[in-house]
Structure 1
Amino acid sequence: MPGNYDARRAVVAGADISLPRIRKSPIESSGENRFVLGRLRADVSSLLDTQHRNSTPKMLSDIQPGSSRLSPFILWPLVVISLVVIGLLLQIIYNVTFHPLCKYPGPKLWAATRIPYALMGARGQTHKEILALHQYYDAEIIRVSPNELSFQHPDAMKEIMGHRKGKTEENAKDPDFTDKNHMDIISANREDHSRYRRILSNGFSAKSMQEQQPIIKSYIDLLIERLHGICSKGPVDVVAWYNYTTFDIIGDLAFGQSFGCLDKSDYHPWVKLIFTNIKMICYVNIARGFKVLEPILKAFIPKEVMKKGMSHRLFVREKVDQRVSLGTSRPDFAETMLKKGAQPMNMPEMYENANVLIVAGSETTATALSGCTYLLLTNPDKLAKLQKEIRTSFQNEDEIDLLSTAKLEYLHAVLEETLRSYPPVPVALPRITPPSGQEILGQWIPGNTTIGVAHWALYHNEKIFSKPFEFHPERWLGDPAFADDHLEALKPFHIGPRNCLGMNLAYAEMKMILAKVMWNFDLQLAAQSKNWIDHDVYLLYNKPPLMVHLTPAVKAAE
C-alpha cells in the first residue's frame, strides 16, 4: 500500500480492524483545509465510538444472568451439566478410594466405572480378559467393576451357587443378567423354581430318557443319512448340522414335533432368530448395567428385531397349545408339565418354560459337539484313539445307543476335556450377595455385591489345570502327569439347586451323536477352519462355520 502509515486500532460493530494513518499531503497544509479535515476526522471517530458503545453492551447482555431471552437455555443446562459432572467425579473418587471393595486388586479404571467392563463384553472378549486379569494380579479374587468381583477357585462356585442349609436364602441372580418375568425355571424365585424343577425333573429321569430314546435315535440316524448324502460335495459345516439335530430333538421333546431343520437342511426361522440376535441379547444385558442408558439403548433396537421377538413368543404359544391338545400320550417334556399334581403349571408358565427348554436343551449341546470335533481334528492322536474305541466296541451300528455309549470311557474323557477346553457357557452367570453379606474363600464380601466364576477363565487357569491350553482327555483317566489337577473344579452344568436339569440328556445326546459320526466317517479339518476355536463370546459363543471333510469309513461300508 503506497505511503507510510501507522496502524490505528478500531472496533467497528464489534470487529477488531486496523485503519492506516495516511501521510499528510500538500492539501492539508492550509488552515482551512486543516479545519475541514479535522472536523471530518472528528466526525468519523465519533461515529465509530458510537457504534462501539451501542454494539458491545448489547452483545454482553446476551449472556448476562439477567437476560430474559437466552439465560434459561444457557445458564440452567450449564448448571445441570456441572452438577452431573461433579456427582460423577465424586462417585469415581468414592469407588476408587472409599468403596468397600477397594481392597481387592484390579484395574483402577475398572474400579472407577463400569464402562471398561461393558466395553470388554461388547467386544466379545470377556472370557480372555478375565483370565488375563487374574493372572496379572495373581489373585483368586479381583474387582472387575465398581460393585462386582470375579472369583477363580474351585471352592468359590460351591460357596456362590451351592445348596443352602435350612431356610437360608440362596444368592439371587443378577437382575441385569436374567429375564424379569420370573415365570421360568431360570429366573423364578426359590419357591417357584423348586416347583418347576419338581415337575420337569420327571422328563429328564433315566426312565424317561429310555422312553425317549426312539425319538432321539431317529433324528441322529437322520443326521447320519443326510451327511452321507452331502459329504461327497465338499467340506460340511458341522456346526450347522449339529444344531439342526439338537434343535429337532428338543423341538420334538418339547412340542411333539421337530423344527424340520434336518429335513430342509436349514434353520427354522425361529431357530435362526436366536443366532442372528445373539449380540443384541448381549448388548441389552450390558445396557441394563447403566440404568440411565438402558431405555436409550433399547430405543436403538431395530423394530424388525422387536417384531421378530413377538413372533417368536407367539410361535412358542402356538406350539405349546398344539402339544397340549395331544394330551399325555407321548413320553416327552410336555407330558410332565401336563400331569396334574399338587401345584401344576399354568399355561403362561408352560409357555415360558418351553421357551427355556428349547434354547438350553439345544444350543449348548451343539456347541459342545462343535468344539469337541474341532479339538479332535487338531489332535489326530486323540481322534485315532477315540475312533478305535468306538469301532472296536460294537459289532454293528445298531448297537450304538444311550446305554452302550455310556460305557465308553475314552469317549467320556474326551467330552470332559472338551467341556473344560470349550465350556458351552464360557462367562460367569452372576449372583448377588445377600444384604447382610457373605463369606467366600475366607473373605467377607459386602451385601448386594455382584459375584461370579467365569468358566472359561477358571478352566484355563494353570493353577487349576496343568497345560490348560492343551487337549488331554487322559487327565480324566488317572494319568499321573495330571495328578495335581483340580478335576473337581469342572462344573460346566453348574452346581447347587439350580444346576442344569438336562445334564444327563446332554451327555447322552453328545455321546450317541459322536459315536455315530465317528463310526460312519473319517474326518479332516478343512483349511478355512484352521483357527476356528478362536472366536468372540457374547454370553454364548459367536460360532463361525466349522468346515470338515467327511469320508465314509471303510468299516461302515462293509
Structure 2
Amino acid sequence: MGNRNRSPSLRALEHSQGPFVRISPTEIAIADIEAWRQIHRVGSDFRKNPKWYQTQAPSQYDDNTCGVFGLNDPKKASARRQLFLRAGTRKIAAEWDPQIKQLVDLTVEKIKRDLRTGQCDVMKWWTLMTADVVGDLAFGESFDNVKNEEKNRLIQDIEMVMPLIGLRMEFPWLFELFMRTPLPQTKEYIATFDRFIGYAQVAVENTRNASKGLTKTLFSKMVPEDGSQQLPDSLIVSEASNVIVAGTDTTAMILTYLVYAVLKDDAIRQRLVAEVEAGPEHPTWEPLENMPYLNNVIQETWRRYPAISGTLPRVVPTQGATLGKFFVPAGTVVSTQAWTFQRDATVFENPLEFNPDRWLNPTPAMKEHIMVFGGPARLCVGQNIARLELLRAVAKFFRECGNTRLAASTTDESMEMMDYFTIEPRAGFCITEPA
C-alpha cells in the first residue's frame, strides 16, 4: 500500500471486506460509526498511539516535550487545549479579522493581475496567503510572501518535510533506514526541523515583545505579560512549530480544491458568484456566515476533499474492548479516517459527487460523519480562524474573479489527491484562466 494513496486504499479495503479490516498484525482499520463514537468520545480511555503521534520530528517526543497534537494523557491534553481555546474563540478570531481581510484582498489582487495577463496558479497564491496569515497570528508580523510573490524558506521547509513525516508515520522501518543512511537528503531533513524550532522560538519571543505594545499573537495567552506563564518556553516552542505547519498547509489545500470543484461545474460557479455579488462589497464576518450557498460550498469541500484525510490511530485500553461484534485485545491499534466516513454511501447520496445542496437540510448522520476538525474529544483548536479565513477568501475570489475557468492543464488526474496525512494535488498546481 503506497503511502501517497493510503486513505483511498483503506476505503477500498473497508468497502470490499467490511468495516473492520486487519491491516497489520497489530492494527485494525475501522469504518463503523458506533465504534468511532466509542473510540473518540469525550472521556474515552482509547489513547493516542504514541508511536504515531509523537514521531513527527527526527527525535522521539513524549508527553513532557511534545505539543498538544501528540499529547497522550487526556488530562494533560485538556489542560493544554484550554490555553489554545482562549486564543481561538470566535471573539479573539474576530480581532484578527482586519489582518486576514487585508491579506485576502492583496492575494486576490495578485490573482486578478495574473488572470489579466494569462493563467494563474491559485494553489501558489493560497499557499503564500495562508503562510502570511500564520505569520501575522503566530509571529505578530507578516512573512510578506504575497507581497514578495515568492515562497519564503518556511513554506519551502513545509513542502519538503511533509512527505517525510508521512513516511515516518506509516513506514517507521523505512524511515529509520533513511535516517541511518548518510545522504544529503537526511542532513537536510534534520536541518529543516532545526529551522522549525528556530521559527517557533522567534514566535515566542515576538509574542513576549508584542504584549508590551498591547498587540496579540496566537500564543499571547501562553506568555502573559503579568508573568503567570503556565508553560515553559520549550513547550510553547513545540506548539508554535505545530501551528506553523498545520495552519499553512491545510487551509491552502481546502481553498485550492474548492476553486477546482466549483470551476468544474458552471452551475455551481454561477450560483456562488451571484450570492457573493449580491452581498456587501466589504462584508463583516456575520454577513458571510449568513450566505447559505457560500457556507454549503465550504462544507461540501470539507466533506469531499478533507485536508487531513488520514487515520487517527488509538490504542485499545488494558481491559480490551468490544467493537462491533469483535473483542479487540489490549494494545491493539484501532484507526479511523475522515476519508472513509465522509464518503459513506449510506449517509451521503452519490458521495463522490460535489453537491453543496446536500447541506440544505443535513441529517444528524451527515453532521456526525463530517470529521474535518477531528473527534469530539480532540477538536481542532484553530477552527474559528480557519473558517473566517475560508469565508473571506472564497467570497472575495468569486466576487472579483467569478468569470474564471480551469485551464486545460488542470484535470482530474493532475488534481488527484496525494495523501501525506494532509493532501495535495498530484501535479502540485491548480491553474485557472479567464473564461
The two structures have a TM-score, normalised by structure 2, of: 0.90
**C-alpha separation between the residues in 1 aligned to 2:365 and 2:314?**
27
1:403-437 deviation per Cα after TM superposition (whole angstroms, max 9, x unaligned):
21111111111111111111111111211111221
Cα deviation, residue 343, structure 1: 6.3
* Equivalent position amino acid for 2:168 in 1: V
CA shift in 2, pair 1:244/1:500, >3 Å: same
Q: 1:539 aligns with which of 421, 431, 435?
A: 421
CA shift in 2, pair 1:158/1:174, >3 Å: farther
User: Is residue 134 of structure 2 the alignment partner of residue 250 of structure 1?
Assistant: yes
**C-alpha separation between the residues in 1 aligned to 2:418 and 2:312?**
17
Alignment gaps of 5+ in structure 1: 1-119, 552-558
In the TM superposition, 1:308-387 aligns within 5 A as 308-327=192-211, 329-339=214-224, 344-387=230-273
Task: State percent identity of aligned pairs.
Answer: 23
Partner of 2:108: 224
1:374-420 deviation per Cα after TM superposition (whole angstroms, max 9, x unaligned):
111111111111111111122xx22x232211111111111111111
1:285-341 deviation per Cα after TM superposition (whole angstroms, max 9, x unaligned):
2342x4xx6543322352122223212322321342233222251133122221258
**C-alpha separation between the residues in 2 aligned to 1:135 and 1:190?**
32
* Equivalent position amino acid for 2:420 in 1: Y
In the TM superposition, 1:58-207 aligns within 5 A as 120-122=1-3, 124-137=4-17, 139-164=18-43, 169-179=45-55, 180-182=61-63, 183-188=66-71, 189-207=73-91
Partner of 1:48: none
User: Is residue 162 of structure 2 the alignment partner of residue 303 of structure 1?
Assistant: no
Structure 2 counterpart SS, 1:325: helix
CA shift in 2, pair 1:361/1:537, >3 Å: same
Partner of 1:528: 409
In the TM superposition, 1:448-467 aligns within 5 A as 448-467=331-350
Whether the 8 Å contact between 2:167 and 2:175 is mirrored in structure 1 is no
User: Is residue 396 of structure 2 the alignment partner of residue 513 of structure 1?
Assistant: no
**C-alpha separation between the residues in 1 aligned to 2:103 and 2:233?**
28
Alignment gaps of 5+ in structure 2: 56-60
Structure 1 counterpart SS, 2:220: helix
The alignment covers a number of residue pairs equal to 418
Whether the 8 Å contact between 1:149 and 1:451 is mirrored in structure 2 is yes
Partner of 1:389: 275
**C-alpha separation between the residues in 1 aligned to 2:353 and 2:45?**
39
CA shift in 2, pair 1:253/1:509, >3 Å: same
Structure 2 counterpart SS, 1:176: helix
1:265-294 deviation per Cα after TM superposition (whole angstroms, max 9, x unaligned):
111111111112222222222342x4xx65
* Higher RCO (CA-CA < 8 Å; seq separation 6+): 2
**C-alpha separation between the residues in 2 aligned to 1:318 and 1:335?**
13
Q: What value does the CA root-mean-square deviation take over the aligned residues?
A: 2.1
Deviates most, 539-548 or 436-445 = 436-445
Cα deviation, residue 181, structure 1: 4.2
Partner of 1:441: 324
Q: 1:235 aligns with which of 119, 123, 131?
A: 119
Cα deviation, residue 239, structure 1: 0.8
* Equivalent position amino acid for 1:443 in 2: F
Whether the 8 Å contact between 2:199 and 2:241 is mirrored in structure 1 is no
**C-alpha separation between the residues in 2 aligned to 1:178 and 1:436?**
24
Cα deviation, residue 485, structure 1: 6.6
Partner of 1:70: none
